Amino acid sequence: MEIINRKVSELIPYDRNPRKNDEAVKYVKASIEQFGFKVPIVIDADGVIVAGHTRVKAAKELGMKEVPCIVADDLTPEQVKAFRLADNQVSSVATYDENLLREELLELENYFDMSDFAFEINAPTGVNPNEYTGKANIPQYEVTGDQPSEGELIDCRKADGLIAEIEGAQVPDDVRAFLMKAATRHYVFDYKKIAEYYANAEKSVQELMEKSALVIIDYENAIANGYARVSGDIEDMLEEDGA
């Protein structure tokens, strides 16, 4: 199976494609921007798209000139039609184990905004999403005794790149100030190394790290500092709204 690059302008959408995919384009764009173009487009011998209409639309919006393709020239016209429908249908009937999916999403929440790819973190199966629990999902790390440097605790590359772009943008000063603050959400913390750093830090530093929720030693204290909400507060607000 040979993968070749083809000009996006030369790819021909199938004019009878029954799959409506416009709503998915923004998510595919986000995926390409984050991870690169990893799944080739399947085309027939004439350059008509067999599988990958959404990816081609996303590539066009991103200004890509070429995309990787696989030419399915070993299939009959009937097989091409069947494959086009089968490829769409198989992906639409797949389901998730919601609890496993939630665990995966929670592990990624400090690294990626998975809502960019149309994911939402739902309550575990069997749990009422309107009920809050006092249990905290706090990762546990075994401290080894090695103290990392401050530079190892955080990955600033994406945030710094965005800040540099904002600084050079032609926007009003108040908008620039807001965007600079928003860019900090792209800092990625290495909580395992933060735990190591905390274990070796002075007490005054440890207290500040706890207040910053870099580590959570006392869950009740975390609530007091505003990093968790108790169910009573939520219920009161819902009652006030008439929910």
Same domain, 149 and 109: no
Same domain, 41 and 63: yes
Same domain, 82 and 105: no
3-state class (DSSP) for residue 26:
helix
Same domain, 148 and 227: yes
pTM: 0.50
Same domain, 146 and 236: yes
Range of the domain at 158: 133-240
Tell me how many degrees the CA angle 188-193-194 measures, rounded to the nearest 5: 75
Residue 220 has pLDDT above 80, yes or no: no
Same domain, 220 and 138: yes
Task: For residues 23-35, give the mean pLDDT.
Answer: 92
Q: How many domains does the chain have?
A: 3
- What CATH number is attached to the domain comprising 81? 3.90.1530.10
Residues 170-192: tens digit of each pLDDT: 989 999 999 999 988 888 888 78
